[in-house]
Amino acid sequence: MENTVKQIVEKYNSNRNRLMDMLIDIQEGEGYISRDAIATLSQLLDMSQADVEQTLSFYHFFSTKPRGKYAVYLNNSPVAYMFGREAIKEAFEKSAGVRFGEVSSDGKIGLFDTACIGMNDQEPAAIINNMVFTRLTPYRVRELVKMMKEDKPIEELRKESFGDGKNYLPSLRSMVSSNIRRKGMILSDDYHFGTVLREKLPTLSPEGVIGEIKHSAIRGRGGAGFPTGLKWEFCRRAKGDKHYVVCNADEGEPGTFKDRVILTEKPELVFEGMALAGYAIGGEEGILYIRYEYRYMKDYLEEVLHKMRKEGLLGTNISGIEGFNFDIRIQFGAGAYVCGEESALLESLEGKRGEPRDKPPFPVEKGYLGYPTIINNVETFATAVRIVQNGGEWFTQFGTDDSTGTKILSISGDCMFPGVYEVNWGFNVEDMLDMVGAYDVQAVQVGGPSGTLIGPDEFHRTLGYSDLSTGGSMIIFGQQRNLLRDVVVNFMEFFIDESCGSCSTCRNMTQVMNNKLKKILAGKGVPNDLKDLQEWGRVLNASRCGLGQTAANPIISSLKNFRHLYETLLQKDKDFDEGFDLEKSVQASCSYVGRVPVFNHH
Amino acid sequence: MSNLIKFKIDGKECMAEAGKYIVDAAADNGIYIPTLCNMKGVKPKGACRICSVRINGRLMTSCTTPVTDGMEIESNSADIQDLRKSIIELLFVSGNHFCPACEKSGNCELQALAYRYQMMVPRYPYEFPTKPVDASSPRIIKDQNRCIFCKRCIKTIKDENGRSYFVFRNRGHKLEVVLDEEMGKTIDSATAHLAMENCPVGSILVKEKGFDTPIGKRKFDKEPIGSDIKL
């Protein structure tokens, strides 16, 4: 053990900033991170043991207890439930003989819940030892468990055909489907990788690149919508010995999976975009920060990078441009939604807990290791390549005035054809529903839990930064769904689990509001409770990051647009109900002490 | 003369050195903005959010935001004061704070802020969470019932190698501030006392001796918190 840890620490040059990698290697090697491993690690890195644990305990996929020879992580997003998660869970528990949250007594099978793994278009899905199993059925689960009990290698559990697109490639061998249903400039096959680096850059200065990006008016595709050109310009101007390019592939917003598809089908485009950005801001190092749920892509993405190095698209003096040096490394997360927030992502990159930073300073001034850094979404980098290829002016013909270009949507839920659709901005929800074959729709969750839940009277609205802004997640709920019980509570619990806990507001208010919602669902609600929920939610605006500020959106937006669902649950004849049954509690207490309760009803 | 700039808080003209954090610049001008996680001279983290002010329509924490020339800051409006009170109430309901039985009563900043903001009964239901008390160190008791996660101990209590005695564990609603088991065994008396002093509440207590200063003669027994800046 001690030697293994030593080797791992040496592999990363005893660099504390690579603590995430060290912990991942130990977790994958041993199935958990033992007390001994923590002790050795802390000694070698000159940290306290508790300090190592403070990073470790932040991330969902790290554990100080064994997680089983086969660790099963079953997605628990609302869409998984809509497609039969209960039956899958039951099948796992029955055949493995162990409950969720536990490991079987022989140490073979561990069952765990996990937040959206980016497979909403092929649920129910689970990750078993980094391999993704989609479209699970009880029969398939029984088969999987039987093979696990027989100690079959994980590859042998792979009985289905490989997914579509590039998922069949030897370095991927994945059962995941890309489900591309509509192509635009990013997903189209008419771009020859490397053209911009080879042919365009020799004719353009870094300022020229930034000029084209600014002219295109593209805004960040991750959801926040900051103008990309400005970000690059600020970073270029910021003083620092080094500048960094970071690609945010944390894609944790439940219902989003388009980055998974872009990275599967067009990784070269993303990496080319990162190199392009490196040229523009004067940076030589790029880092792809990708969520651990996509660990199955590791070998594939490394292979693509290797190929690009061989072709001279990464490395030194790229395209013969003197001093244009750029390379990319891949950093995996370990299960934390908040790391999609750019400054939390930076903390995680530095081997720490993913707690968002105070701003200012912004990452463009002080980012990774304190150096000026741009952090852009996967889709933004891919789009930047097409912009520089064809010019900023060309790009503005797509989309609308304030939202130029195309957007890749991840559409899932109650529809005929869930998957990835690249559309021009300005698309309206009605058309979108018709496009995917969604009928009798009750609601659409636009932009994931942190976005908005809208009903039919708002389906005329359009997708764009000034109307319905979205990072791409679209979840459709049919009439048969119980929105409050099955969607809103699920999303609130997601935020409660995923809050970093740093701000008093986000750490506590999500819980307080969810308790109130549960009180209403239990039939104990009174009209004032709705007023409370509305007012209390405002406190979250004082949170440091976007997660905290939007953490009550599932309640706030459903209360605004589906108020009738709440109202029908309220007690009509009461204006106060503490949600506590005095008589029942007195009876319980009396039964413990052997007294007989007397109630005086007046 | 160093680099002085002008700014406004609630319409009042103020002056301060450029680059000072708003909370300190305000204090220099006799304006009190409440703080809880902040400590003078220690890198701020903006954890409690109680010092939130509004600048250009956005809520910002004044302990982490440097003042700039011409900045207009809103601090004393009804909604911001209510936000601060809300945060105090949230902290009370999410832990188990029983002031009469607490060694820190009268020296506790959370209690003092609750008085200053005239909290009677929190508007939020008490959660009464079950939380452990760690008394394994020979010198320190870490009572999780009272912790408000301000990070002060994490940032200030370190050994000679710069290693923190206290760290965060877990996240979100399961967050804890814990004392390193090994380091807790050997923590010296002076450091333990400093940890207790830096803790704004009664979550870190030194063992064996208490109530050195009797109730009634403590820091906030005579004057409300912030009185050194403004009553």
Q: Give the A-side interface with B, CB within 8 Å.
A: 46-51, 53-54, 57-58, 336, 353, 358, 360, 496-505, 507-512, 515-516, 532, 536, 538-539, 541-544, 578-579
Distance from CA of A526 to the nearest CA of B (A): 15
Task: Tell me, yes or no, whether A516 lies in a domain.
Answer: no
Reported confidence tier of residue A579, pLDDT bands at 50, 70, 90 = confident
Residues A233 and A376 in one domain: yes
In angstroms, how far is CA B83 from the centroid of its own chain? 16
Residues A98 and A224 in one domain: no
Residues A386 and A417 in one domain: no
Residues A38 and A91 in one domain: no
Residues A344 and A380 in one domain: yes
Task: Tell me, yes or no, whether A96 lies in a domain.
Answer: yes
DSSP readout, A7-63? HHHHHTTT-GGGHHHHHHHHHHHHSS--HHHHHHHHHHHT--HHHHHHHHTTSTT--
Residues A350 and A418 in one domain: no
Helix axis angle, A267-281 to A298-310, nearest 10°: 60
As a whole number of angstroms, the distance between CA A62 and CA A39 comes to: 16
As a whole number of angstroms, the distance between CA A325 and CA A282 comes to: 9
Average pLDDT (A342-362) is 96
Number of structural domains in chain A:
4
Q: Set out the domains of chain B in order of their start, with CATH numbers.
A: 4-76 (3.10.20.740), 85-207 (3.30.70.20)
Q: Compute, in degrees rounded to 10, the torsion defined by CA atoms A84, A90, A93, A94.
A: -130
The backbone torsions φ and ψ at residue A526, rounded to the nearest 5 degrees and listed phi first, read -130, 160
Instruction: Name the residue in chain A with its Cα closest to that of B86.
Output: A539
Q: Is the pLDDT reported for residue B220 higher than 90?
A: yes
Instruction: Name the residue in chain B with its Cα closest to that of A577.
Output: B125
Residue pLDDT, tens place only, A529-572: 999 999 999 999 999 999 999 999 999 999 999 999 999 999 98
pTM for this predicted structure: 0.95
User: What radius of gyration, in Å, describes the C-alpha atoms of chain A?
Assistant: 25
What's the CATH number where A379 sits?
3.40.50.11540
Task: Tell me, yes or no, whether A167 lies in a domain.
Answer: no
Q: Is the pLDDT reported for residue A600 higher than 80?
A: no
Contact B83 A49 (CB under 8 A): no
Range of the domain at A473: 406-481
Residue pLDDT, tens place only, A412-446: 999 999 999 999 999 999 999 999 999 999 999 99
Helices (H), A178-227: 195, 206-216
User: How much of chain A, in percent, has pLDDT values that exceed 70?
Assistant: 100
What confidence score (pLDDT) does residue A597 get? 78
Residue pLDDT, tens place only, A448-476: 999 999 999 999 999 999 999 888 999 99
What confidence score (pLDDT) does residue A470 get? 87
Residues A306 and A333 in one domain: yes
Contact B172 A360 (CB under 8 A): no
One-letter amino acid identity for A360? Answer: P
Cα–Cα nearest to A230, from A250, A252, A209, A213:
A213
Instruction: Name the residue in chain B with its Cα closest to that of A547.
Output: B172
What's the CATH number where A86 sits?
3.40.30.10
Type and span of the H or E element at A509: helix A504-521
Read off the DSSP letter of residue A397: T
What confidence score (pLDDT) does residue A30 get? 92
Cα–Cα nearest to A562, from A485, A509, A494, A497:
A485
Instruction: Name the residue in chain B with its Cα closest to that of A352.
Output: B168
On average, the pLDDT of chain A sits at 95
Pick from A445-459, A492-506, A585-599, B27-41: least confident: A585-599
Task: Tell me, yes or no, whether A518 lies in a domain.
Answer: no
Pick from A126-135, A267-276, B212-221: least confident: B212-221
Residues A282 and A361 in one domain: yes
Secondary structure E strands in chain B = 4-9, 12-17, 52-55, 58-61, 72-74, 133-134, 140-143, 166-169, 176-179, 204-206
In angstroms, how far is CA A144 from the centroid of its own chain? 27
Cα–Cα nearest to B61, from A545, A55, A160, A373:
A545
Of B87, B163, B174, the CB nearest to A47: B163
Q: Which chain B residues have a beta carbon less than 8 Å from that of A510?
A: 173
Residue A8 neighbours by CB under 8 Å, 6+ apart: A22, A25, A26, A29
End-to-end CA distance of chain A: 71
Q: Is the pLDDT reported for residue A5 higher than 70?
A: yes
What's the CATH number where A472 sits?
3.10.20.600
Average pLDDT (B182-186) is 94
What confidence score (pLDDT) does residue A584 get? 86
Contact B45 A50 (CB under 8 A): no
Residue A43 neighbours by CB under 8 Å, 6+ apart: none
Residues A251 and A369 in one domain: yes
One-letter amino acid identity for A577? Answer: D
What confidence score (pLDDT) does residue A602 get? 55
Tokens of B143: 């009572």
User: Do A13 and A28 meet the contact criterion of CB atoms below 8 Å apart?
Assistant: no
Contact B180 A336 (CB under 8 A): no
Residues A42 and A142 in one domain: no
Half-sphere exposure (Cβ direction) of B178: Cα atoms closer than 13 Å: 22
Average pLDDT (A576-584) is 81
Contact A500 B93 (CB under 8 A): no
Task: Tell me, yes or no, whether A309 lies in a domain.
Answer: yes
Q: Is B62 exposed, middle or buried (0-12, 13-18, 19+ CB in 10 A)?
A: buried
Reported confidence tier of residue A575, pLDDT bands at 50, 70, 90 = confident
Average pLDDT (A126-153) is 96
ipTM of the prediction? 0.95
Q: Compute, in degrees rounded to 10, the torsion defined by CA atoms A18, A22, A28, A34.
A: -140
What confidence score (pLDDT) does residue A601 get? 64
Contact A579 B124 (CB under 8 A): no
Cα–Cα nearest to A411, from A386, A397, A429:
A429
Residues A276 and A391 in one domain: yes
User: How much of chain A, in percent, has pLDDT values that exceed 90?
Assistant: 91
Q: Is the pLDDT reported for residue A203 higher than 80?
A: yes
As a whole number of angstroms, the distance between CA A535 and CA B79 comes to: 11
Task: Tell me, yes or no, whether A38 lies in a domain.
Answer: yes
Residues A115 and A86 in one domain: yes
Distance from CA of B136 to the nearest CA of A (A): 15
As a whole number of angstroms, the distance between CA A491 and CA A514 comes to: 10
The backbone torsions φ and ψ at residue B158, rounded to the nearest 5 degrees and listed phi first, read -135, 160
